[in-house]
Chains A and B, each alone.
Chain A
Amino acid sequence: MGIAIEVYRTCRETVEAHGGGRLRQARLAVGELSAVEPELLAYAWEAVIEDSPDAGAELVIEWCPADQRCASCGEAKERASGSWMRLCPDCGMPLEVRGGNELDLVDLSFETVDNVSDEGAKVAG
């Protein structure tokens, strides 16, 4: 819930920084090692925006699998389901973690309050 509030806060700050408006969709990258459960986050998001001016805004979650490698074997090692073990299953050496900690806002779309029609205008962040 706390994370959903922070994600929403970051979205609002970004929208305000681009002139303000009503949030329609936010795309969030969530890593396998971020300790964030996508389903629960989506549920919390609904609760956070329900009574906000952005009610109905969609949260799209992009799942980013862990990328961990063994320096000793020189290979990428898959993460066993539900396991956080950081030792190589083959040689027992510590694994180097290169990815999977994401909790990043990728992009968002919003509607500005004026009525100028300019569908899909892209603004670099």
Chain B
Amino acid sequence: MKQVVTVKRRALAASEERAENLRSRFAASGTLVANLISSPGSGKTTLLEETVRRLNGEVTTAVIEGDVATENDADRIRALGVPAHQILTGGACHLDARQIETGIEDGGLPDVDILFIENVGNLICPTTYDLGEDFKVVLLSVAEGDDKPVKYPAIFARAEVAVITKSDLLPHVPFDLESVQGQIASLNPNGTVLTLSSLEGDGLEGWIDLLRSRLETKRRASV
């Protein structure tokens, strides 16, 4: 017997329901969740190292690392005394909500104030997957070239925060900062653009302040 079923359901419904469950869970524990997305080598892990170091003693943090292979990134975070769990995707180019669910269990991660999820290095696929985060952060290092926002527009349109990293290299590479800021602003008129150097520390306070303010908002909402 042939049957036609009218569905009208999001095609990623199963994944999106999981993300909503995660969001409820994070709301209950008052955990702010940031999903960091960028191409490989733009400085996600280095920014996270500096971030958890600066927030240490003020708020509790944990990190979920997504990579195709190796525990390198989780080891770097653990070396700072911060709980971290490494998800190995074995070739997959993004994280999904299912992996975050099991990652929190497998890694025995405690409830913390801020959970950072470092996605697999990729500007395309992670864009589509909701991980139950409060906001996406896209990183772009100045060494990657100043046309990336218009070449990979979806992530820049969807990330609430864009961080231009490795600003200490600006004198050495051709990178029109104003043009990039303009591109991001036109893709995401309501977004925030920050410029910083994790190694030198320039601009890091702005990023830390943004996290503090987002956490404060989240806490007020969950009271």
Contact = CB atoms under 8 A, between A and B. Distances in A.
A18 B4 CA distance: 10
Interface stretch (B11-19, B63-71, B135-143): B11-19
A2 B122 CA distance: 14
A28 B186 CA distance: 30
A54 to B, nearest CB: 14
Nearest to A112: B1
Interface in A77-125: 83-87, 94, 103-112, 114-125
Interface in B137-173: 150, 153-154, 156-157
B220 interface: no
B8 A121 contact: no
A25 to B, nearest CB: 9
A13 interface: yes
Interface string B105-146: 000000000000000000011011100000000000000000
Contacts of A18: 3, 5
Contacts of A13: 14
B14 A28 contact: no
Contacts of A109: 2-5
A117 B3 contact: no
A118 B1 contact: yes
A108 B7 contact: yes
B28 interface: no
A107 B6 CA distance: 4
Interface residues of A, number: 46
Contacts of A35: 124, 127-128, 154
B2 A24 contact: yes
B186 A85 contact: yes
A55 interface: no
Contacts of B157: 33, 84, 86
Nearest to A17: B5
Nearest to B125: A2
B154 A84 contact: yes
A115 B2 CA distance: 10
Contacts of A103: 10-12, 128
Contacts of A119: 1-2
A87 B124 CA distance: 22
A110 B6 CA distance: 12
A118 B1 CA distance: 5
A121 to B, nearest CB: 5
A74 B169 CA distance: 44
15 contacts: A6-B12, A7-B11, A84-B187, A85-B186, A94-B189, A105-B7, A109-B5, A111-B3, A112-B1, A112-B3, A119-B1, A119-B2, A122-B6, A124-B6, A125-B8
Interface of B: 1-15, 92-94, 96, 124-125, 127-129, 150, 153-154, 156-157, 186-190
For the complex of A and B, the 4 pairs showing the least CB-CB separation, nearest first, are A84-B153, A94-B189, A35-B154, A112-B1
